[in-house]
Amino acid sequence: MAKYIYQYGNWTDFVWDEFKINALFGEVKLVQGKLTGKIQLLGFNSKEEKTLETLTLDILKSSEIEGERLNYEQVRSSIARHLGINMAGLVPSARNVDGVVEMMLDATQNYRKPLDDKRLFGWHAALFPTGYSGPYKIEVAKYRGGEMQVVSGAIGKEKVHYEAIPAKDVKNEMDKFLQWLNKDGLDNVLKAAIAHLWFVIIHPFDDGNGRIARAISDMLLARSENCPERFYSLSNQIHTEKKRYYEILKEVQHREKNITLWLSWFLNCLKNALLETERSLQNILLKADFWERHKDTQINERQRIIINRLFDGLFGNLTSQKWAKITKTSSDTALRDIKDLIGKGILTQSEAGGRSTNYELKIFG
């Protein structure tokens, strides 16, 4: 009796509940369209800033899902250098960080290019530049030659959650997968969902399968929008819903062909990622509008730093003490800066006086 999805005949002839999935798919496309419309309102600098923020988050969270924590500043700096974004404070980045960045940028910037095994092997080599995953030597830039199990538990008491497709069948299964992936027909949003699951079922590499599956989804979502710029992070949302992500994958991998459960979860996850970005864009649009209106206003660098922090969600109330600490200046200078912005109609003072006095942008007041 078949235990895993791939052990059933013609297992890749996936089926799903058309009524349920079409309704959810329609909701996703609607939010995706609204978000694309709002993005068009952003200026070049705001788009560049949002792309940098999204790609950084996507790479960090995709790695965190697998239990690997990358350095935020290194990832951000590496992306900025690769995209030619001129910004202050860039730091050197480790080889493995550059590798992850190169994979993600190839997936999203070159989204129109067909995906073949050579390109996949390049991604895998970029993920594991030393040929090691942690302390373990792995096969790099080639399909795995050994069997693969997903297990948990102490040595001798391991619990097998999943056994991947036998190594001897991986090449044939990947050829079939890549042929389907590069063929037109299915909408790329649905294709992003199916490709993610299909790739994880095959588990073609010794390690890095989850990260590459998410990169493939990002590539197909970029195709669906016909745009290399990324303004929402699917990996961040998957990380938020990580427990359910693994539960759904496990459940569907033990079923036959019907992937309604997976498609429903994936589309809901994508919708949540889009809605989260739609909310954050409101602040970006306000920020862009503010700086456009005040392009001729005399604002010093300390004031500029604080204003941007307020737009980006400064933690807690803004006081003169907090101003002095953030800008590394004296309390007197902080108070002069604040009073200057109040006089220019940019800041407003709260009604509470004395030590409780705090300030906020007039646009939020």
246 lies in the same domain as 308: no
User: Per-residue pLDDT for 30 more than 80?
Assistant: yes
Q: What angle do CA 152, 155, 158 make, to 5 degrees?
A: 35
Residue 315, pLDDT score: 62
302 lies in the same domain as 224: no
116 lies in the same domain as 138: yes
31 lies in the same domain as 157: yes
* CATH number of the domain within which 192 lies: 1.10.3290.10
pLDDT band at 351 (very low <50, low <70, confident <90, very high): low
End position of a domain, from candidates 230, 265, 286: 286
Lowest-pLDDT range of 44-48, 235-239, 334-338: 44-48
The token duo for 24 is 């959810």
CA atoms of 70 and 53, how far apart (whole Å): 15
* CATH number of the domain within which 353 lies: 1.10.10.10
**pTM value?**
0.83
| Each residue's pLDDT tens digit, 99-139 | 999 999 999 999 999 999 999 999 999 999 999 998 999 99
End position of a domain, from candidates 286, 318, 344: 286
Which residues form the domain of 105? 5-286
57 lies in the same domain as 10: yes
pLDDT band at 354 (very low <50, low <70, confident <90, very high): low
271 lies in the same domain as 299: no
User: What is the tally of structural domains in the chain?
Assistant: 2
N residues, the chain: 365
Backbone Cα Rg of the chain: 24
159 lies in the same domain as 120: yes
